[in-house]
Amino acid sequence: MGANVTDRLSDALKVALRGVGIEPPDDLLWEVPREEAHGDYATNVAMVLAKSVRRQPRQVAELIRQHFPGIPEVARVEVAGPGFLNIFLAPDWCALALGEILEAGDTYGRSDRGGARRVQIEFVSANPTGPLVVVNARAAAVGDSLGRILAAQGYQVFREYYVNDAGNQVQTLARSLEIRIRQQLGETVELPEEAYPGEYLVDLAKEYLATAGPAVLEWPQAESLERLGRFAVERITAEQRRVLSAYGVEFDGWFSERRLRESGEAARVLERLRERGYVYEAEGAVWFRSTAFGDDKDRVLVKSDGEPTYFVNDIAYHVNKIGRGFERVIDLYGPDHHGHVPRMQAALQALGYPEGILDVLIVQLVSLLREGQPVRMSKRMGEFVTMEELIGEVGRDAARFTFLTRRHDSPLDFDLEVVTRQTAENPVYYVQYAHARISSIFQHLRERKLPVPDWRRVDLLRLNLPEEQSLIKRLLQFPHVVEGAARALEPHRIAYYLQELAGLFHPYYNRHRVISNDLALTNARLALVSGVAQVVRQGLDLLGASAPEKM
RNA sequence: GCGCCUGUAGCUCAGCUGGAUAGAGCGUCGGACUUCUAAUCCGAGGGUCGGAGGUUCGACUCCUCCCAGGCGCACCA
């Protein structure tokens, strides 16, 4: 796990608080001040607690400072501004902490905060009626990275894809395929307006005819549509899985809506809601009193024709998730589903589940541009840029990294021209280049037949340049950044951290040579850049991007 | 009409559950490769944080209203 500075500072701060006679809050927050003069870490705890102890913030801060235990990590503590406690790390300790980072290796930045709790992340979950598109690529990048980050924090992560293989859209899909098959056989049949117009169904029609022949058209309609629907869903889902896999995203489970419907779980959920008194009948339909939990109107559970709504099935799906033992459930939805969040939360509360068991993240839309001009897309016309085309054009690492340099709930302009043409100016390459350069140093070492030192025998105290101190301190922030990204469910924090780290490395590399005639200094610097490479590699991995040895 | 998201430098975006003098990249201008990769570096300029009030020691952050863009507002999924 390695050195986690903020954990150690928190421990010391708790000692100080108890010394003052204040019971420490559960989570103490540390921020990294903008100004160097404000120290390496700062906390506003004195200002937050000042009210409850009825003292001036600066007085509280001063008391805490006096009781702050002497620990090797900290050179000094200052009270500043309206009552900040500014911590200055001890340079020698930082240098030696680099050894701990290297010692920790790939476990650096990991923690067991998750306590092996099982968390499920459901994302992408596109309808199996066509190829994945650009916004699915964004959701895949966010969801998968979240999974990696939570796993690094000690959660047991399960990635799930909900396959909407039931309902109207599958009927429509089956009809569309049937018409394409007839067209293949030379019949003059027009595609109705509501059908799926994409060319991919022509390919599927050919494929179907090649393997199964035209006999299906002679079957009773219900059976033939059932057959064609299943065929199309299966093939399209397999395609989606293939594209996601090429993107580096593997799901642990593909959950079938059809199987859920057949299981009768929706009826049991309905019964449970009824027992708890949140169900009533009106206008021939069955309603859920979601307004009791803050929704702006009640929702229909069973239509007047006796059919359950999508909403019931969705509740049943979430109950099913929780029933499988997940202690935490995270959904990634598109903005067109954000209206469903309050009613879903309401349903889970009505069923007695603890608040906060479900987190819903809205992944906003992606506007595709080329040289600043919008790329016209029309699903109705069957014209769209698929996820596969996107990856083919800009590359997997650039696509994933670009998606993760934005907050998930912020709409994103994705300019194909910028992400491809200006590869040199793309942040992902800036970060990866740092890794490639460091790899090159070690390549150089091998070519000269020089040994890679045992880090435990290296005199790290030789790293006393300001740039070297800054780099080490930045490396020491990594666990804090990962923890924050996990807590806030914000993978983009990792991307920004990596850009900052690379932004310290490149100037350093440009100004100072790692390999020199001074063997002890060379070894110390090798340790430093090795640590940088390691953290860059780990950070990129959390984003699902690669760390190349050469570029 | 109601709800959600967004509005920060010319452009694309950060700003870490209210903190200290608002940041980065790109673009613009001017410089640096016989030395471990110039996909790099150094320097310069660039802002009434959409607008107006309010809450407090302190507001890009919270509240109210208004403006602009996007998305929702089904007994569709």
**A70 or A339, higher pLDDT:** A70
**Whether A167 CB is under 7 Å from strand B:** yes
Q: Which fold has domain A5-89?
A: Gyrase A; domain 2 (3.30.1360)
Q: How far apart are CA A274 and CA A288, in angstroms?
A: 9
**Predicted pLDDT of residue A379:** 54
Distance CA A294 to C1' B51 in A: 31
Mean pLDDT in chain A?
A: 92
Q: Is the CB of A82 under 7 A from strand B?
A: yes
H or E element that contains A162: strand A156-163
- CA–C1' nearest nucleotide, residue A170: B77
Nearest one of A42, A16, A45 to A28, comparing CA atoms = A45
Which nucleotides of chain B does any protein CB come within 7 A of? 2-7, 11-27, 35-42, 57-58, 69-77
- Report residues 42-61 of A contacting strand B, contact meaning Cβ closer than 7 Å: 42, 44, 47-48, 57
Distance from residue A106 (CA) to nucleotide B77 (C1'), in Å? Answer: 44
**Predicted pLDDT at A378:** 58
Range 388-427, chain A: CB under 7 Å to any strand B atom:
405-407, 409-413, 418, 422-425, 427
- 3-state SS assignment for residue A370: strand
Provide the percentage of residues in chain A whose pLDDT is more than 90.
78
Token digits of residue A97: 């902490």
Strand B proximal to A309 Cβ, under 7 A: yes
Residue A284 Cβ under 7 A from any strand B atom: yes
Nucleotide nearest to A309 (CA to C1'): B75
CA A402 – CA A141 distance, rounded (Å): 9
| Rg over CA atoms, chain A | 28
Break chain A into its structural domains and give their ranges. Answer: 5-89, 123-263+364-416, 424-543
A253's tokens: 């489970």
- Give CA angle at A283 (A281, A287), nearest 5°: 35
**Rounded to whole angstroms, how far apart are CA atoms A434 and A498?**
10
Assign residue A173 a region: left if phi > 0, alpha if psi is -120 to 50, beta otherwise?
Answer: alpha
Q: Which residue has the higher pLDDT, A475 or A3?
A: A475
Q: Is strand B less than 7 A from the beta carbon of A310?
A: yes
Is residue A34's beta carbon less than 7 angstroms from any atom in nucleic acid strand B? yes
CATH of A424-543, one of 3.30.2130.10, 1.20.210.10, 3.40.1010.20, 1.10.730.10: 1.10.730.10
- A435 CA: nearest nucleotide by C1': B37
With distances taken from each CA to the C1' atom of nucleotide B35, the closest residue turns out to be A513
| Bridge-based pairing state of the strands A285-288 and A279-282 | antiparallel
- What's the CA–C1' distance between A275 and B11, in Å? 57
Quote the ipTM score: 0.95
Query: CA–C1' span, A335 to B33, in Å?
Result: 49
Residue A322: exposure state from Cβ atoms within 10 A (0-12, 13-18, ≥19): middle
Q: Are A315 and A344 in contact (CB under 8 A)?
A: yes
CB A467 within 8 A of CB A507: yes
Q: What is the fold of A123-263+364-416?
A: Rossmann fold (3.40.50)
Q: Which of residues 174-233 of A touch strand B (CB under 7 A)?
A: none
Q: How far apart are CA A248 and CA A244, in angstroms?
A: 6
- Nearest 5°: phi and psi at A370? -140, 115
In this structure, is the CB of residue A29 within 7 Å of any atom belonging to strand B? yes
pLDDT at res. A336: 86
Average pLDDT over residues A318-334: 95
- The predicted-structure confidence for A491-538, as pLDDT tens digits, reads as follows 999 999 999 999 999 999 999 999 999 999 999 999 999 999 999 999
A300 CB below 7 A from strand B atoms: yes
pTM (predicted TM-score)? 0.95
Strands across the sheet with A279-282, in order? A279-282, A285-288, A299-302
CA of A35: nearest nucleotide by C1' is: B20
How does pLDDT run across A31-53, given as a tens digit for each residue?
999 888 899 999 999 998 888 88
Residue nearest to nucleotide B38 (CA to C1'): A510
pLDDT above 70 for A425: no
Check residue A1 and give its pLDDT: 57
Q: What is the pLDDT of residue A422?
A: 56
Q: Is the CB of A496 under 7 A from strand B?
A: yes
Buried b (16+ CB within 10 A) or exposed e, A94-106: bbbbbbebbebee
Task: Identify the burial level of A548 via C-beta atoms within 10 angstroms of its C-beta, where 0-12 means exposed, 13-18 middle and 19 or more buried.
Answer: middle
State the sign of the Cα–Cα–Cα–Cα dihedral A186, A191, A192, A195. Answer: positive
